[in-house]
Structure 1
Amino acid sequence: MTEALYQSAPYQREAGSRVLAHTPEGGILCAASVFYPQGGGQPGDSGQLSWLGGQIEIATAIKGMDGGVILVPAEPLPLPPVGLPVRQSLDWERRHRHMRVHTALHLLSVLVPLPVTGGQIAADKGRLDFDMPEPPADLAALEAALNALAARDLPVTETWITEAELDANPGLVKTLSVKPPRGQGRVRLVRIGSGADQIDLQPCGGTHVARTGEIGRLRLGKIEKKGKQNRRLTIHLA
């Protein structure tokens, strides 16, 4: 299992680690990872891996077996040997934009309290698909409410519950298309706000900003109809 530094320390941009293995496809498995592995609609991180005498660009990261994180090189170049110490460096600007978009999508799910049937995050925008028979009547009002929530600068924190506790509280799960990460006996919840100011609590394995004020201004794109009752709402970083 890879130590998930991207989760315990999402603002960490670099880290030393050690190569545990190579995959048959040319991926690199390290003991710890600041690279977020693709999942839950959030892309895998990119950046660099360097070691004494070498360096390689990392195009993305993906999930491996048993909690491992596999770094995928951008080109088929020589890999650092197994056991060698390495230095990981994130493309921080790209990752931070993913964090801003991801947290903004959680805010959108607060303002549109309908089942989420899909979602995707990019560096400049994100979208959620809702089981929504009719589109919102006033898009300008929805955009204003979204920016007002972000501007409240609410704290974004995490907590953990057991899988049994999640099963006893199915209402915590908003997303129908992505199941909460399981298999370790516990599930991570992301909370926005605290105490009387808490506005959201839901299972999530992705990376988020520490406060909603860090998201910045948002622009709501057009609404697209995707199927009989599905509608797609897209938000853009201003």
Structure 2
Amino acid sequence: MTEALFRQNAYLCDARGKVVSHAERGVVLDQALFYPTGGGQPGDRGRLSWDGGTMDVVNTLKSDGDDIALVPADGATLPPIGAEVKQTLDWDLRLRHMRMHTALHLLSVIIPLPVTGGQIGAEKSRLDFAMEDPPEDKQSLEDALNALIARDFEVTERWITDAELEANPGLVKTMSVQPPKGAGHVRLVRIGTADEQVDLQPCGGTHVRRTSEIGSVLLGKVEKKSRLNRRFNIHLASP
């Protein structure tokens, strides 16, 4: 099982690792700095380096069991099994994903409707809502979202048991993707504090520490995807 360093510290940019195997999907290390594609968040990119070589990581995917596979660029030389490597994250990309991910959680607060889908991207991210009628005032939604961001709420995590989640089904906002269960515990991401809680929902992705790190966002096109489904796109207003 690959140790998920990104869950211990989402701001970690480099780390050591040891090559465990060459899996079908990529190189598996004993511990991974890179977040694997999942929950609407893309896999991380970066580089591995070792004595005698380097390998560009163009994507990160889940592999067998709880292993994490680092996908090499086409034609890349793989580090030998057993080699000690340095992992270097494409931090700019990761940070944009973190800012976007936290912003989407806040978007689900100002639009308190069931979420039917979502996707995080560096340039554009989206949430789909079970919404029959178009919003009356898109600008007011953008203003409300940026007002929440500017309040500089703390973003924290805690873990609950599968049984606790089953006893509190209202924590799950997404209709299309259910939080991973079966390991006995589920990670919750909280925006705000226990006394002033803005959002609390199961999530395995990476987030910024405070909402002010998101910066201002722009609410883009609102698309009608079906009679009962509308897609809201957001963009980061600053790099």
Identify the TM-score tier after normalising by the shorter chain.
over 0.9
| Aligned mates of 1:130, 1:101 — CA distance in 2 | 17
Partner residue in 2 for 1:171: 170
Partner residue in 2 for 1:146: 145
Partner residue in 2 for 1:24: 24
**Deviation, structure 1 residue 135:** 1.6
**Deviation, structure 1 residue 195:** 2.5
Instruction: For residues 75-116 of structure 1, give each alpha carbon's deviation from its aligned partner in whole angstroms, at most 9, with x where no partner exists.
Output: 222211111101100000000000000000000000111110
For the Cα contact (< 8 Å) 1:219–1:237, is it kept in 2?
yes
Code of the residue aligned with 2:5 in structure 1: it is: L
Q: Give the number of aligned pairs.
A: 237
Partner residue in 2 for 1:82: 81
1:43-62 equivalence runs, <5 A: 43-62=42-61
Q: What RMSD, in angstroms, separates the aligned Cα atoms of the two structures? A: 0.8
| Aligned mates of 1:57, 1:222 — CA distance in 2 | 34
For the Cα contact (< 8 Å) 2:23–2:63, is it kept in 1?
no
For the Cα contact (< 8 Å) 2:54–2:77, is it kept in 1?
no
**Deviation, structure 1 residue 228:** 1.3
| Aligned mates of 2:75, 2:205 — CA distance in 1 | 28
Could you say what secondary structure the match of 1:109 adopts?
helix
Partner residue in 2 for 1:180: 179
Code of the residue aligned with 1:132 in structure 2: it is: M
Percent identity at matched positions? 60
**Deviation, structure 1 residue 121:** 0.5
Q: TM-score normalised to the size of structure 2?
A: 0.97
Partner residue in 2 for 1:106: 105
* Deviating 4+ runs (over 4 angstroms): none
For the Cα contact (< 8 Å) 1:57–1:75, is it kept in 2?
no
Partner residue in 2 for 1:117: 116
| Aligned mates of 1:78, 1:125 — CA distance in 2 | 33
| Aligned mates of 2:54, 2:182 — CA distance in 1 | 34
Could you say what secondary structure the match of 1:106 adopts?
helix
Could you say what secondary structure the match of 1:20 adopts?
strand
Instruction: For residues 49-75 of structure 1, give each alpha carbon's deviation from its aligned partner in whole angstroms, at most 9, with x where no partner exists.
Output: 110000010001001122111000012
Code of the residue aligned with 1:182 in structure 2: it is: K
Q: TM-score normalised to the size of structure 1?
A: 0.98
For the Cα contact (< 8 Å) 1:57–1:74, is it kept in 2?
yes
For the Cα contact (< 8 Å) 1:129–1:230, is it kept in 2?
yes
Partner residue in 2 for 1:8: 8
| Aligned mates of 1:196, 1:9 — CA distance in 2 | 25
Could you say what secondary structure the match of 1:132 adopts?
coil
1:190 matched to 2:189? The reply is yes
Partner residue in 2 for 1:208: 207
Could you say what secondary structure the match of 1:166 adopts?
helix
Code of the residue aligned with 1:6 in structure 2: it is: F
Unpaired segments of 5 or more residues in structure 2? none
